[in-house]
A = this chain, B = another copy of it.
Amino acid sequence: MTESTKYLLPENQIPKYWYNIQADLPKPAPAVLHPGTLQPVGPDDLAPLFPMALIMQEVTTEREVEIPEPVRDVYRLWRPAPLYRAHRLEKALGTPAKIFYKYEGVSPAGSHKPNTAVAQAFYNKEAGVKKLSTETGAGQWGTSLSFAGSLFGLEVLVFQVRVSYDQKPYRRALMETYGARCLPSPSNQTDFGRRVLAERADHPGSLGIAISEAVEVAAKSDDTKYALGSVLNHVLLHQTIIGQESMLQMQMADAWPDVVVGCTGGGSNFAGIAFPFIGDALRGGRKARIVAVEPAACPSLTRGKYAYDFGDTGHMTPLTKMHTLGSTFTPPGFHAGGLRYHGMAPLVSHLKELDLIEATAYHQTECFAAGVLFAKHEGIVPAPEANHAVKGAIEEALRCKREGRSETILFNLCGHGHFDMQAYADYAAGKLTDQKYDESELAMALSGLPSVPQAA
């Protein structure tokens, strides 16, 4: 075994540009609409929520967007992230496939989320913003923005879904260690939160509700902006650093992926690893299959409708065309909290419509089985979200074994599971089940989609 286990890049090879897939799309993605007028939103409509630099990144069609030096300087704390060859996992599977994984768990917050949190904190600081409000479920995103806010001297207010706030105090402790303030959502700090609490005082909360609260705080305050950890174009843009580094590292390994696999919740880590490869192929480079893996209990890409919908429960966001289960859909309480979102990033959805990506869905127990197998052979215990990508990659490797093909598989190991060990304990104790969503609830949520003329 003298072949390399991991491929490291020096600091000066941190990419200087984020890659914008909007420059290479065969057909532009549908416009974002104002929910009142149903007309495309302009930069001014978004100005109460985001600094202008991020709004411009949301709509630009420039292929390369320069990464500001202060952002690259923070990236140096953990980037470039390593690319691994999973020698031991390959051997355990007995597959002729070569499996590579990009490991984003080396960031201080433990996932890919700081790639955009740091950029968002920087642009907000530049714009004179004092405070950021955001939502978080299990806590990966809230932790990352808290970390970024700490480095740039911004106050951070995190609305954490109440059930996670109560059940997972350690993520909250981490956010507070970085100096952030963390409130359980629904809270009595916003009109929307109070409205929800008036209907049900012990409401467990949801991501959609927490988004509404965080948006409300930003919309009503002069010195506060809102930050979102996935879904939006600029968030996906910032994550492309993952795929760009991976391309350099695959070249170091003298290999190139036949298949690229990522898990999808809002779509940001998947876009991060996949978009640079898709763009390269669109410009004439070698084409890889691109596989999105989502949870069977919240299957927006495989079971959702491609339609205009709201991003939140309080209907404060613009309308975006995306694969959605309906903004009132409440997924079962499975452990991959980062994948429990009713919608999918508009750009990822658009690529699915263009047949540039595939999608598949797995249940949580088979994903945990994959994660435990991975940990036993590769050492790293993946986050429950990342287990979906591990499962997807293992399935591809087993297909290669059946077909006798030595394909090259690349997947994104987007985070570690150090704050998710209760899920592993439950899995080991046989307590995890494959929760299914309620078909009639899904039908109802889909029937409640906003009515938008087809032309839009």
Residue A381 contacts which of B6, B106, B174, B425 (CB distance < 8 angstroms)? B174
Q: Is the CB of B170 within 8 A of A421?
A: yes
Q: Is the CB of B424 within 8 A of A173?
A: yes
Tell me how far the C-beta of A146 lies from the nearest C-beta in chain B, rounded to whole angstroms. Answer: 10
Instruction: State whether the Cβ of A25 lies closer than 8 Å to any Cβ in chain B.
Output: no
Instruction: State whether the Cβ of A1 lies closer than 8 Å to any Cβ in chain B.
Output: yes
List A residues at the B interface (Cβ < 8 Å): 1, 4-6, 8, 10-11, 73, 76-78, 84, 88, 106-110, 147, 150-151, 169-174, 176-179, 372, 375-381, 418-419, 421-422, 424-425, 428
User: In whole angstroms, what is the CA distance A77 to B380 when docked?
Assistant: 9
Q: A176-B425, A177-B376 are in contact. List 19 more A-B contacts (CB 8 A).
A: A1-B73, A4-B11, A5-B11, A5-B77, A6-B11, A8-B10, A77-B84, A77-B378, A108-B381, A150-B375, A150-B376, A151-B377, A169-B421, A169-B425, A172-B425, A173-B424, A173-B428, A176-B428, A179-B376
Query: A78 to chain B: which residues have CB within 8 Å?
Result: 379
Query: A76 to chain B: which residues have CB within 8 Å?
Result: 4-6
Residue A375 contacts which of B178, B376, B421 (CB distance < 8 angstroms)? B178
Q: Is the CB of B425 within 8 A of A170?
A: yes
User: In whole angstroms, what is the CA distance A88 to B70 when docked?
Assistant: 12
User: In whole angstroms, what is the CA distance A174 to B382 when docked?
Assistant: 11
Q: Residue among A1, A110, A377 with the most chain B CB within 10 A?
A: A1
Q: Is the CB of A5 within 8 A of B73?
A: yes
Tell me how far the C-beta of A415 lies from the nearest C-beta in chain B, rounded to whole angstroms. Answer: 12
Residue A422 contacts which of B4, B10, B151, B173 (CB distance < 8 angstroms)? B173
Asked, given contacts A8-B10, A76-B6, A418-B419, whether A108 binds B379 with beta carbons under 8 Å apart, the answer is yes
Q: Is the CB of B177 within 8 A of A375?
A: yes
Q: Residue among A77, A84, A169, A372 with the most chain B CB within 10 A?
A: A77
User: In whole angstroms, what is the CA distance A364 to B106 when docked?
Assistant: 27
Q: Is the CB of B11 within 8 A of A108?
A: no
Q: Is the CB of B377 within 8 A of A177?
A: no
Query: A4 to chain B: which residues have CB within 8 Å?
Result: 11, 76
